[in-house]
Amino acid sequence: MNSPKLTKAYLSVPIVDCGEPLEAIPPELFILEFPPPYIKLGADYGDASPYYLRQGVLNALAQARQNLAILRPDWQLKIFDAYRPVAVQQYMVDYTFQELLKQKAYPEEIIWQEVYKIWAIPSEDPKSPPPHSTGAAVDLMLVDSQGQDIDMGGQIDELSDRSQPDYYRNNSKEQKYQIRRDILLNIMTQAGFRRHPGEWWHFSLGDQMWTWQHNLENPGQTLIAKYGRINT
């Protein structure tokens, strides 16, 4: 099974890691998906945990929690996944490929294209780490006061057009999903995060993708990424 050689624009952003440590996401402040979704599918984190983030990213996430408390005090943030070793990224890329191979009689090249719509390249090159392997990216959703998931009109990691953040923007019958996605977007961006262009659930701060988006929006203020790959 040979993955094609792919490149993504954000990977051209240079990195000078600031050296911030990973910190545990406090379970008393956030709902944590349990058991961790990729461990449930067989991924081996070794001594690592998916529920860690860089110190500065965790501080921003705490601010997003406060933003939500003002806007919707009856809702909470639920963390689906955060830190992800490159080995886990590779496992999930391979797992998704095999699952699609069972479901669709497509050429392998087409299946790889589908896989990489939502999965970052599991690169071992320190110049091009997967976003989650930097400890600067988080996948999350909203839950109600009873801890029940708020329906966002699609599942995390769903390989369909519904994963596009604005999928429901012009759908008058399903505006509730767009409103909920916009609430998540607003509380996160107000805290400094940027959202993945193709995933309603993925947000990052200070990694290559965040920096790439910042530089596109602010051509006169070119930044470099401050979070690179963490080895655990």
Catalytic positions are 199
Residue 135: left if φ>0, alpha if ψ -120 to 50, beta else—which one? left
Burial of 16 (0-12, 13-18, 19+ CB in 10 A): exposed
First to last CA, the chain: 27
From residue 59, give the alpha-carbon distance in Å to each of 66, 194, 208, 210.
11, 15, 19, 16
Prior bond to 35 cis, omega within 30?
yes
Q: Which residues are 31's β-sheet partners? A: 78
Give, as one character, the DSSP assignment of residue 6.
Answer: -
